[in-house]
Amino acid sequence: FLRKELGSDIEILVSDSGKFSIRSVPPISHLIAKEFGGGGHPHAAGGFFRFTTWDKILLKIMKKNRYFNKISIVADRF
């Protein structure tokens, strides 16, 4: 659904607890997840971010945190 709506090749969903799920058209989801201690399959992977209290506050208020920029940088490498 998200892929059609956004026209994206990679989607990353993050929960309040820090659990993340990656789906990708190029077979790189597992490589991105591995950089953050996660794992999975080439097109679907996931893991957990270790959120600090500040990370949780930023996610609630601003819908972002320090991991979002990092994961973009990692994804761009592939």
- Predicted TM-score (pTM) of this structure: 0.80
Q: Is residue 47 assigned to a domain?
A: yes
Q: Is residue 51 assigned to a domain?
A: yes
Q: Is residue 54 assigned to a domain?
A: yes
Residue 15 lies in domain: 2-72
- Which tens digit of pLDDT belongs to each residue from 31-61? 999 999 999 999 999 999 999 999 888 888 8
Q: Is residue 48 assigned to a domain?
A: yes
Beta bridge partners of 22: 12, 45
The structural domain count of the chain equals 1
Q: Is residue 78 assigned to a domain?
A: no
Section 14-36 average pLDDT: 94
Within 13 Å, how many C-alpha atoms sit on residue 41's CB side? 5
